[in-house]
Amino acid sequence: MSNRILVFYGSYRSDRMGIRLAQFVVERFAARGDDVELIDAKAIGMPMLDRMYKEYPKGDAPAALEKLAGQIRAADGFVFVTGEYNWGMQPGLKNLTDHFLEEWFWRPAAIASYSAGRFSGARAAMAWHGTLSEMGMVVISSSISVGPIAQTLSEDGKPTGEGGNALARSFPRFADDLAWWMEAARAQRERKKPPY
């Protein structure tokens, strides 16, 4: 059985480098036979948070929110591809996640971070770990960190140079870790209804 994975990306910048990592992740999971989809906050045109999805009367949520809520509920797991802005999270990706809460519950999440420099978005990844846990996800221990991204992935998301080779070698463990947790969570949800 293939896993249904949503890959979230949230940069709104005109010269987006992180899309390379998002493409890499999508392609690698698809090559493993997973049902994977990129959710690009900029492409969706996600508005700034006014009301959470659950705060709208049933049937009154904007169409983009309604569709995304269904996609999240149907997923087995998530990958958050995050850049680092001034030691912190990208606001576009954080804004997207904050529109939802219960939809995230009882599924695993993985973090893939990047930056233009040598720290590879590690500080943003650390911030995301606590946030995703608070939102009801189990954050896997494996992570991917890419930097400098322009020297690690080509414009079409293909590994290049020594950094790209290291990324390609690290992906299977990252994917295996997420797959194990997705399968475990799915089996548990089928066995027993979540307590809330």
What gap in Å lies between CA 101 and CA 92, rounded to an integer? 16
pLDDT over 90 (residue 160): yes
d(CA 84, CA 127): 10
Q: For residues 181 and 140, is the Cβ–Cβ distance under 8 A?
A: yes
Model pTM score: 0.96
Task: State which amino acid sits at residue 11.
Answer: S
pLDDT at 1: 73
DSSP code for 118: T
Instruction: Indicate if the pLDDT at residue 110 is higher than 80.
Output: yes
pLDDT digits (tens, 9 = 90+) for 22-66: 999 999 999 999 999 999 999 998 889 999 999 999 999 999 999
pLDDT at 154: 96
What pLDDT was estimated at residue 34?
98
Amino acid at 189: R
In order of their start, the domains of the chain are 4-191 (3.40.50.360)
Asked whether the predicted pLDDT for residue 180 surpasses 80, the reply is yes
Q: With bands split at pLDDT 50, 70 and 90, how would you rate the model's confidence at 196?
A: confident
